[in-house]
């Protein structure tokens, strides 16, 4: 199959490193939540699919938050701007 000339190069289609870091953290959190749910199920707690969804989504959000903090700290060490640029308005001294 021939490559189309108007398709962007592979580098342009990649996700930014910060997004990749967040998705990796969320995936690891969801995997850990699934393991926790399985342990609870084997221990006798019968929560079913709702319990799995609750634990997996909660730990995925925690994992993404931890990844965001570590990613922001690494970006700051590299000298990148972490906070958004907010418009600055001067106040008149009247």
**Cα separation, 33 vs 26, whole angstroms:** 10
Task: Name the pLDDT band for 32 (thresholds 50, 70, 90).
Answer: very high
pTM of the complete model: 0.64
Residue 20's pLDDT is 83
Residue 9's pLDDT is 65
Task: Name the pLDDT band for 10 (thresholds 50, 70, 90).
Answer: low
pLDDT tens track for 38-88: 999 999 888 889 999 999 999 999 999 988 888 877 777 777 776 777 777
- Domain ranges in the chain are 16-77
Q: Average pLDDT, stretch 8-26? A: 76
**Looking at per-residue confidence, does 9 or 85 come out higher?**
85
């Amino acid at each position: 199959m021939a490559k189309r000339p108007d398709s962007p190069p592979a580098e342009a289609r990649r996700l930014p490193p910060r997004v990749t870091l967040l998705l990796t953290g969320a995936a690891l959190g969801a995997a850990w939540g699934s393991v926790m749910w399985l342990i609870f199920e084997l221990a006798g707690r019968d929560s079913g699919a709702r319990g799995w969804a609750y634990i997996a989504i909660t730990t995925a959000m925690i994992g993404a938050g931890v990844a965001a903090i570590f990613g922001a700290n690494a970006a700051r060490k590299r000298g990148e701007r972490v906070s958004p640029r907010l418009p600055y308005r001067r106040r008149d001294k009247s």
